Structure 1
């Protein structure tokens, strides 16, 4: 029987899932504000705008609270380090999955990009919410950056979701915290070797 390996702590999974819920609420509310037929069907524009604003402001909160977790901080340190194996992964080198650590290069780049995008989105969103902008930047420019950023974030997250749905074992790891040893060896070989060397609890 294929051994199940512990991949994600409960704190990491809660941060991921809570952030996902806030993101869906934020995007759904934005769609109801910007897409004519949806706006007409839903109505209550001030309420929808308030939901969108608060979901956006709260988006970084799960991660900030999650920093109290040692497991999450350890995962963030892993994501923050780019290794030679990551460069080979990007070049689609043979056996790249068997060399990848707990996070492959694609996951690291996605995490870095989405973190920066959230900062930009929250910052521009706050400027729009309180109806002011920096003296040298007109409100229309802030709105343009916010809308362009929103579009790019939705595309990136859609790609993330697409990859997740193509990999049931990866989804199981985020849902239950455990993955099969075979999957770990094939997709994150360096991490599999590291875990295999750890003493059994």
Structure 2
């Protein structure tokens, strides 16, 4: 007697973006770059002129220029004091032409020393430590327990959901790699590439970063809209959190369509860090809207910090979605999962699909409403 498999569908054609094998290799690529960070001195990271005089020397130059200027510095009780003093680095009336007449900008050296010093060092340590910790966790704990496959497939993601995910993922990869080149390329790549080759690599990386950035923002917005309805927390998620998702114990903790860890990634990574990266990226990408150098320097601090956390979290997300949870990558690549995988990792969602109550799933297929019949003579 044939099983009632009318609700099941054949594996749909994979979206073009999901056929590319680069995503599972991202942790290895980033780990390689992070390893290179460990080989360099923290002081060597950054941009040219790293040996320039510190900010206080520049301040003395600014003060000398102001002393010789026909436009005196406003006094302490002057109405313009403070506002003028903060950006008093040019000759001429304050605010007449924005920063077009800026000779020396007070915060320039301060920004450069922070960016090339503690910020670059801390970011490099994080980018090196995260893949190392993931590797140690994989060797010590191992991946999630894989249940025997039944051969019956359940639709999990639509073609649109997969296309949005992969478009966001690959634009993120492009930004991560080019961003690391921009941040550390001079110290890591220039010594063995030479100035000619590295200048082209840096130039291409800069333009790719600047043009892919707005595309990533659009993809992130589509990602948020597409997956929002499935990422609201509920009481069931607390049980998942208390058991650590079974990452160490390898117990299959019941979860809905997305578990608490995936929801945390959606809200803290895709949404919060995505918002930070989008706003600061636009400030840096489009410098023609009147923002001052001070604003752009603060935006750069936040952009580097946000990118570091985003890349680190993404490496964890990629590990969990590939080697850490066998079968998870196929779900986003092909759109379907095996029935045993759904029951083990997302048992609550599996029961909803089985009972026909899973939102947006039943029209495209679910699982048989009863257990699969055992082999035997037909009746």
Measure the CA separation in 2 of the matches of 1:38 and 1:10. 39
Q: How many residues align?
A: 195
Q: Is 1:30 paired with 2:30?
A: no
Q: What residue number does 1:185 align with? A: 343
The SS at the match of 1:60 is helix
CA contact (8 A) 2:240 2:253 kept: no
Written as runs of structure 1 = structure 2, the 5 A alignment for 1:1-201 is 1-35=150-184, 36=186, 37-38=188-189, 41=193, 42-44=198-200, 45-65=202-222, 73=226, 75-79=227-231, 81-92=232-243, 97-114=252-269, 115-131=271-287, 138-165=295-322, 166-198=324-356
CA RMSD of aligned residues (A): 2.6
Could you tell me how far 1:97 is from its partner in structure 2?
4.1
Deviation per residue, 1:63-114 (Å, 9 max, x gap) = 54568xxxx74x42011x2111101111117988452100000000101112
Q: Structure 2: where are the runs of 5+ without partners?
A: 1-149, 357-361, 366-379
Native 8 Å contact 1:11 1:66 kept in 2: no
Query: Secondary structure at 1:18's aligned position in 2?
Result: helix
Name the structure where helix makes up a greater proportion of residues.
1
Tell me the SS of whatever aligns to 2:157.
Answer: coil
Distance 1:82 1:154, change over 3 A: same
Structure number with greater Rg is 2
Distance 1:39 1:83, change over 3 A: farther
Deviations 1:110-156 (A, max 9, x none): 01112111111111111112236756953322111110011000100
**Contact (CA 8 Å) 1:98, 1:185: kept in 2 or not?**
no
Q: How many Å separate the matches in 2 of 1:53 and 1:136?
A: 18
The answer for unaligned runs of 5 or more in structure 1 is: none
Asked whether the 8 Å contact 2:220–2:274 carries over to 1, the reply is: no
SS at match of 2:327: helix
TM-score by length of 1: 0.85
